[in-house]
Amino acid sequence: MKLSEEAQAALDAARAQSATTRRPTVAALEERLYLPVPCLDHGFVRVVDYMGDDAAIVQAARVSYGRGTKKVSTDRGLIRYLMRHRHTTPFEMCELKLHVKLPIFVARQWIRHRTANVNEYSARYSVLDTEFYVPRPEDLAVQATHNRQGRGEVLDADEAAAVLALLRRDAEQAFDTYQALMDEHQLARELARIGLPLSAYTQWYWKIDLHNLLHFLSLRMDTHAQYEIRVYAEAIGDIVADWVPLAWEAFVDYRLGGLFLSAQGVAVVQRLLAGERVTREDSGLSAREWRELMARLRPDSAGEGSAG
Amino acid sequence: MKLSEEAQAALDAARAQSATTRRPTVAALEERLYLPVPCLDHGFVRVVDYMGDDAAIVQAARVSYGRGTKKVSTDRGLIRYLMRHRHTTPFEMCELKLHVKLPIFVARQWIRHRTANVNEYSARYSVLDTEFYVPRPEDLAVQATHNRQGRGEVLDADEAAAVLALLRRDAEQAFDTYQALMDEHQLARELARIGLPLSAYTQWYWKIDLHNLLHFLSLRMDTHAQYEIRVYAEAIGDIVADWVPLAWEAFVDYRLGGLFLSAQGVAVVQRLLAGERVTREDSGLSAREWRELMARLRPDSAGEGSAG
Amino acid sequence: MKLSEEAQAALDAARAQSATTRRPTVAALEERLYLPVPCLDHGFVRVVDYMGDDAAIVQAARVSYGRGTKKVSTDRGLIRYLMRHRHTTPFEMCELKLHVKLPIFVARQWIRHRTANVNEYSARYSVLDTEFYVPRPEDLAVQATHNRQGRGEVLDADEAAAVLALLRRDAEQAFDTYQALMDEHQLARELARIGLPLSAYTQWYWKIDLHNLLHFLSLRMDTHAQYEIRVYAEAIGDIVADWVPLAWEAFVDYRLGGLFLSAQGVAVVQRLLAGERVTREDSGLSAREWRELMARLRPDSAGEGSAG
Amino acid sequence: MKLSEEAQAALDAARAQSATTRRPTVAALEERLYLPVPCLDHGFVRVVDYMGDDAAIVQAARVSYGRGTKKVSTDRGLIRYLMRHRHTTPFEMCELKLHVKLPIFVARQWIRHRTANVNEYSARYSVLDTEFYVPRPEDLAVQATHNRQGRGEVLDADEAAAVLALLRRDAEQAFDTYQALMDEHQLARELARIGLPLSAYTQWYWKIDLHNLLHFLSLRMDTHAQYEIRVYAEAIGDIVADWVPLAWEAFVDYRLGGLFLSAQGVAVVQRLLAGERVTREDSGLSAREWRELMARLRPDSAGEGSAG
C-alpha cells in the first residue's frame, strides 16, 4: 500500500490537529487515529472517528446521568453479563467510522451487512485509480472438494505463475481500455468503468455501531469467510481490541471462542458425560456435524466414528 | 425539571472532565455537553456524545484522506447541493447521542422511528420515579373538528381545572398503588408497573445519525405532530443548529421551509403564472389541498375559491 | 377474548372469500387464516397474510427460475444447512402479517424489534376500547431475589386478591376518566388518553420476514422474557410450525433447543471428556454460569460444585 | 434476453401450478407472475411473489378485522391522503418479491437501498453464465460537461463502434480467462471470478415492501439515475401500476410528478403571483436552481433571467 503525496499530506495535517473535549476519549485509539493499516496489496483500513468507550456501554446500560461506571471489575462484570445474555442495545451506543480501500469483489460481500452507513467513492463522478488486487502466490488455491464455496490445496509455483500472469494481463488491459475510453473517446465515466475487473480497488467511508460491528466480525473473521475479506476483518478486530478492550474480551469469550451445540449436540454431550458410548450413527448428527463437534470437544481423538 | 442531588453531581463530574483529542470538535456543542434542556414539566433532552461536524459531511462526500474541507463557502455550497439532491449518505456520517426523559405516550410516538439505537430505563429491573406529565392549562384543548387527530380551541379555565384535577388524582393514585404493590405485597416490578399511566416519565439513551435525525425532526417539528413531542423536537433542533450550522441551514431551506407541490399543484401554479384564472373546481385539488396551497402561495388572499 | 359482532362479521366475510392463485399456498395456514388465537384475557394474534413456504427458502437459496425444490429430504437438508451456518438471507424471503391485540406494556417490549413493519391503532384518531389486562391470580408473583428482572414465588390467594382489586380499581377509574374527559369536557383524544394505564389494550398490524421473526421468537419465547409477551411468542410459534414446518424444525434443533458454550465452557467440556475432574473454582466460570452449564449438561447432578 | 431450456421449463411448470387461497389476489399481477420482463441485453425482472393489494393498505390504516375497504372512491381518497401526508406505514404492509438478472455495476447501485431482503447468486459456490452487458450504440454518450456524473451527446457511429469493440474484446477475454482458471488450473471459483468485468451479469432474489419500493423508484426512475438502472426501475414501475393501481396513481401525483419548492422557491412564486417582477439575482436561487424552477413553472419561457 502506498499513498499519494497529496493523501499523505492531508492525513498528516489531520493528525497534527488536536483540541480539548469533554467527550470520552481512548488514548490507544487516538494514537492510531487516521493511520492506515495495510490490507492486501493496495488496500487499507483507517479509523476516521469514534464515539464512546467501554464505559459508554455501562453508562447506557444504566441510563446514567454521569459516566455510569463504578470499579473496573464491576464494569467488566456488567459488560460480560450483557454480552452473555445478548443484551445488545448498550453495545449499539459506541460507534466507529472507518475509511477503507478494498477490491470491489470484497466490497460486494461487505455491503451485505445492511446496518451501517456507507459513502462510496463514485466512479460516475470521479476517475478510479489504476489499482487492482493480485493475490500472492501462496493465496492461490484450487477449488475445495468437500466444500463448494472454499479453497483447497495451494497451487504449485508454475501453476500460480500462470494464473497470476493471466489475471495481471487482463486487469492491465481493462485499465488501459478505461483510460482510452475516457481520453480518446470522451466516453462518460459511468460507462467507461463497466469493463473494469472486480479486482479493481474502490474506497468508502463506513460507519457502524459496536454491536453490529461485532456481528460483522463474527461472520467475516470466520474460517468460512473468503480469505480476502478476513484480512480486513482481522485488521478491524485489532482496532476494536484497542478501542473497547473489555467488550472485546467478552466478545472473544462469548462469541468468537465459543461453540454452539445443537439440540442433538447437547444430547451427545449429556450421554458422553453420563459415561455412555455414542456412535455417529446413533447421535442424530450428520457426518459433518459429528466431525466438527468431535474436533472441538475431543481435539485429540477427532475423526473417530465413536466416542465415550 | 429538577434533578436529584446524585444526578446533578454525576453530571457536574462528567462536565468537569476533559481530554485532548485528534477528532473534530464543535465548540458550541462542547459548551452544551451534558446540560439538560428542560422539556414539559419533568422532562429533558441532553447531549451525551456526538461524532462529526459540518466538515465531516464534506469529508465523507469526497471520501477524503484528510478533513476534506476547502473554503467555508465551497463547503456550504456542497452541503446545500447534497441536501437539495437528497444525497443522504454523507449526512449519515455524523452521529448524536442523547439522554432523554419523556412521558411514555411521547416515547411511544418517538420509537416508531426505527433507524436509531435506543436503550431504555427498565421498569422490570428498576423502580420508576414518581413523576408524571400534567399539561399546562393553556395546552388543554378540545378535539379538533376538521382534523380527526388534532386539537381545537383551548379549554376555558374552569374546564381546564376540572380536567387537570382528574388527571392528577388518577396518576397519584396509580403511583400510590405502584408503591404499595411493591412494598406491601412484594409484587414483581414487571407486574407492579402495569397500572401506571401513559403520562408517567421514562428515560432513554437515544443515538441516531444526522440524516435520520433530520427526518425525525421534519416529521416531529411539523404542526401535525402532537404538541408534547414537538417540544422535544424543537429542543433538539436548537442543538442541531449549534452542532452543524451549515447542514441545519440547508435543512431549513430545502426541507422545513419548503413546500411540496403535487402534480396538480404544479399545473395550478403554471396556469396562474401564465395569467389564467383558476378555480378550486377546475384545479384538480381537493378543498383542503386548495386551501393549504393558497395559504402558502398567496398568503394575503387565502381561502378564496379562485385565484388568478 | 370476545370480538364485537361487527368485528366477527368482518372476519367471517374475509374467511368466506377465496380466489385462485399461482403463488405458493400452505394448506395448514389457509385453515388458520384470519382466526384469532386468544392471548391473555382480551388479546389475540391472527394471521392476516403470508408470503412463501418452506420451498420459497430453497428457491431463494438456489436463485431458481422455478419453485427450486427437489425431494423433500434434499430440501430439508438444505434448510438445516442454512440454519446451522447462519445463512440467513433465504429465510428473509418468507413474510408473515399479523393482527395483534395486546396490552401497551407488552407492545413496548415488542416494538424494540426494529426490523418489522408496524401500523398501530391511533389513540389520537380513534377511541380505545375499555379493555385492560388483569393477570390471573396464578400469574402474580413476588419480585425474584436472585434475578433483578424476574418473578419469584406466586402470591398466596389473599395477597393475590388484594393486588387484583387494586389493579382493577385504578384501571376502571382511569377508563371512566378517559370517557369523561372526552364526553363531558370535549378534551382532544390525544390528551384524554394520557391517564390510561399501561395495561390498556392496543392493536396493531405487524409484518415481518421469517428470519427476523425467528430471532424475535428466540428472545421472546425465552424464560427470561416477561410471561405476558411469552404468551404471544408461543402462539406465534405454533403458527410458524404450521406455516414452514421444515424451517421450524431446524430452528428448534439449531436455536431454541441448542446451547451456546462460551470459550470457558468449551474448555470445561473438553476437560470433562478427557476424564479430568473440574471444580467451579478452576473452571473460569462464574457461579451462575457453572450452575446453568451443569443444569444443561448433567441434568441429574446439577448444582454440585464439581464434576468429572 | 434468452432463457436456457431448463430455466424456461422450470418457469412454465411454476406458472402451470395454481391453488385456492383466502388471501387477497390481484388478477393483473397473477397474469404477469413468473414472466420475465426483458431489461438491457441479457437482463430481466420477474415477479416471484406478492403480498397484499390496494385494499391491504386501507386495511392496515384502519387496523381492521376484515378487508377494511369501503367504496373504491373512499379507499382511493384514503390512499391519497396517506401518500400526501407521508403516513408511510400502511404502504409497508404490501410486499413484492422479484427475481432480477442485472449487470454487476447496476447491482452495486441497487444494493445501496438497505431496506430490502436480498439473496444473490454466489460466484463462490457456482459458475457465472458467460453474459455481459454491451450498451446499444445509441446509449453511448460522452461525459456531460455541466454535470459531473451524467452523460452528454451521443457518440457518432464510428466512435461508438470503436468503443463497443474494446468493451467486447476485454469482456470476452476476461470470461475466457475465467473458464481457463477453473478448468485448466482448478483455481477456486472465489478467486477465478475476480478478473470478471463489472458488466458481467449476476442474479438475485429481491424482496421489499411497497413504501420502500416507491422510495427506490422515486430515486431510480429519476433522470439523474444512470440509464441502465432506470431501465429496471421503469420495468418495476409498470409492475407496480398493475399490482396496486390506486397507490401508484397517488405516487405519481404526490411524488413523481410533483415538485419540491425550497424556502427561496416559495418566496419566488409568492412574489410572482403578487405581480412582482423577479430576477435570478434577487431570487436567492443559484443559477441552476433558477433554471430548473423556471423550466417547471414556466415551461414556455424557461431560461430567461427574469420572470413576472
Instruction: Identify all chain B residues contacting D296, using CB atoms and an 8 Å cutoff.
Output: 266
Give the catalytic positions of D in this structure: 220
Among B155, B162, B180, the residue with its CB nearest the CB of C166 is B180
C-beta atoms of A10 and B66 within 8 A: yes
Q: How many CB atoms lie within 10 A of CB D125?
A: 13
Confidence bin at A72 (pLDDT 50/70/90) = confident
What pLDDT, on a 0 to 100 scale, did the predictor assign at position D304? Answer: 61
Q: How far apart are alpha carbons D306 and D308 in whole angstroms?
A: 7
Give the residue on C whose Cα is nearest the Cα of A113.
C89
Out of C46, C193, C220, C280, the active site residue is C220
From A140, A163, A197, residue closest to D196, measured CB to CB: A197
Rounded Cα gap, residues D252 and D249, in angstroms = 5
Residue D183: count other Cβ atoms within 10 Å of its Cβ: 10
Q: How many CB pairs under 8 A join C and D?
A: 158
* Chain A nearest-CA residue for D165: A177
Interface test with C, best of B139, B191, B196, B202 (most C CBs within 10 A): B191
Query: Cβ–Cβ of B198/C199 closer than 8 Å?
Result: no
What is the pLDDT of chain A when averaged over all its residues?
A: 94
The shortest CB-CB distance from A263 to any of C257, C260, C274 is to: C257
- Hey, are the CB atoms on B25 and A10 less than 8 Å from each other? no
Specify which residues C307 forms β-bridges with.
C278
Whether D132 is in a domain gets the answer: no
Average pLDDT for B235-248: 98
pLDDT of residue D148: 75
User: Are A52 and A162 within one domain?
Assistant: no
Among the three residues A217, A235, A256, which one is the final residue of a domain in this structure?
Answer: A256
| pLDDT digits 0-9 by tens, B84-137 | 999 999 999 999 999 999 999 999 999 999 999 999 999 999 999 999 999 999
- Please give the residue that has the higher pLDDT: either A67 or A215: A215
Is residue C132 domain-resident? no
Write down the pLDDT at residue A273. 93
B161 and B103 assigned to the same domain: no
> Given this model, what pLDDT does residue B304 score?
61
Q: Name every residue whose Cβ is closer than 8 Å to that of residue B67 and which is 6 or more positions away in sequence.
A: A10, A13, A14, A17, B24, B55, B59
Within 10-29 of D, beta carbons closer than 8 Å to B belong to none
> Measured on CA atoms in the order D273, D278, D283, D287, is the torsion positive or negative?
positive
The number of angstroms, rounded, from the C-alpha of A289 to the middle of its chain's C-alpha atoms is 25
pLDDT at C37: 98
Check C260 against A265: CB less than 8 A apart: no
- The enclosing H or E element of D180 equals helix D157-183
Mean pLDDT is lowest, of A145-149, A188-192, B275-279, D223-227, for: A145-149
Nearest to B57 by CA among D35, A268, A119: A119
* Shortest distance, CA C308 to any CA of chain D (angstroms): 44
D56 and D191 share one domain: no
Residue A132 covered by a domain: no
List chain A residues with CB under 8 Å of B93.
97, 117, 119, 205, 207
End-to-end CA distance of chain C: give it in Å, rounded: 52
pLDDT at B148: 75
CB contact under 8 A, D174 and A177: no
Asked which of A195, A225, A240 is the last residue of a domain, the reply is A195
* Phi, psi for residue A116 in degrees, rounded to 5: -155, 165
Give the per-residue pLDDT at A305: 65
Q: Do A28 and A110 belong to one domain?
A: yes
Does residue D227 register a pLDDT over 70? yes
Report if residue C289 sits inside a domain. Answer: yes
Tell the burial category of D281 from Cβ atoms under 10 Å away from its Cβ (0-12, 13-18, 19+): exposed
Across the interface, which of A13, A51, A66 has its CB nearest the CB of B10?
A66
D15 and D96 inside one domain: yes
* The pLDDT of residue B268 is above 60: yes
B280 at the A interface (CB within 8 A)? Answer: no
D140-186 residue pLDDT tens: 999 887 777 788 899 999 999 999 999 999 999 999 999 999 999 99
Summarised one tens digit per residue, pLDDT across range B42-92 is: 999 999 999 999 999 999 999 999 887 878 888 999 999 999 999 999 999
| DSSP codes joined into one string, B13-68 | HHHH--EEESS---HHHHHHTTPPEEETTTEEEEEEEEE--HHHHHHHHHT-SS--
Query: Does residue C199 belong to the interface with chain B, where contact is any CB pair within 8 Å?
Result: yes
What does the alpha-carbon distance between residue B100 and residue B40 come to, in Å, rounded to a whole number?
12
Which amino acid, D299? P
Give the pLDDT mean for D284-304. Answer: 85
State whether C182 and C249 are in the same domain: no
Query: What's the confidence (pLDDT) of residue A146?
Result: 74
Q: How confident is the model at residue D69 (pLDDT cuts 50, 70, 90)?
A: confident
Interface of C with B in 164-193 (CB under 8 A): 166-167, 170-171, 173-174, 177, 180-182, 185-191, 193
Percentage of residues of chain A with pLDDT beyond 90: 89
Domain boundary among D195, D215, D240: D195
ipTM: 0.95
Inform me whether the C-beta atom of residue B101 falls under 8 Å from chain A C-beta atoms: no
Claim to verify: residue A33 and residue A143 sit in the same structural domain = no
Q: Does A261 touch chain C (CB under 8 A)?
A: yes
pLDDT 10s digits, B19-31: 999 999 999 999 9
- 3-state secondary structure (DSSP) of residue C261: strand
**Helix, strand, coil percent values for chain A (each to nearest 5):** 50, 20, 35
Q: Does the beta-carbon distance from B63 to A121 stay under 8 Å?
A: yes
Q: What pLDDT, in 10s, does the model give residues B188-233?
A: 999 999 999 999 999 999 999 999 999 999 999 999 999 999 999 9
Q: What is the pTM of this model?
A: 0.96
Same domain, residue pair C169 and C229: no
**Domain count across chain A:** 3
Question: D219–B86: do the CB atoms touch at under 8 Å?
Answer: yes
Whether residue C194 and residue B151 make contact (CB cut-off 8 A), yes or no, is no
Q: Which of A21, A41, A306, A262 is nearest to A168 (CA)?
A: A41
Closest to C83 in 3D by CA, of C63, C57, C59: C57
> How many angstroms separate the CA atoms of C275 and C301, rounded?
17
Is residue C161 within 8 angstroms of chain B, CB to CB?
no
Q: Which residue has the higher pLDDT, A59 or D1?
A: A59
Buried residues in C172-191 as b, exposed as e (16+ CB within 10 A): ebbbebbeebbeebbbbbbb
Give chain C's residues under pLDDT 70. Answer: 302-305, 308
Q: Check A270 against C297: CB less than 8 A apart.
A: yes
**Do D62 and D174 belong to one domain?**
no
Please tell me the predicted confidence (pLDDT) of residue C68: 78
Residue of C nearest to B167 (CA): C195
State the residue range of the domain holding A95.
5-127+199-256
| B225/B158 same-domain check | no
- The answer to whether residues B183 and B242 belong to one domain is no
Q: Which residues pair with C197 in a beta bridge?
A: B197
Query: DSSP assignment of A172-233, as one string?
Result: HHHHHHHHHHHHTT-B-HHHHGGGSBTTBEEEEEEEEEHHHHHHHHHHHSSTTS-HHHHHHH
Q: Residue C210 has what pLDDT?
A: 98
Among B48, B61, B121, beta carbon nearest to A119: B61
Instruction: Answer whether residue D158 is part of any domain.
Output: yes
Size of interface B-D (CB pairs under 8 A): 83
Contact A25 B14 (CB under 8 A): no
Residues 6+ apart with CB under 8 A from B158: none
Quickly list H helices, C184-262.
189-192, 210-220, 227-243, 245-251
Q: Is A103 in Cβ contact with D104 (below 8 Å)?
A: no
- Domain presence at residue D222: yes
Chain A: residue whose CA lies nearest to C224: A85
Tell me what pLDDT residue B306 has: 75
Residue D99 lies in a domain: yes
Q: Is A220 considered catalytic here?
A: yes
Query: Does some domain include residue A51?
Result: yes
Q: Which tops the pLDDT comparison, A306 or A65?
A: A65
D123 & D17 share domain: yes
- Burial-class residue A275 by CB neighbours within 10 Å (0-12, 13-18, 19+): exposed
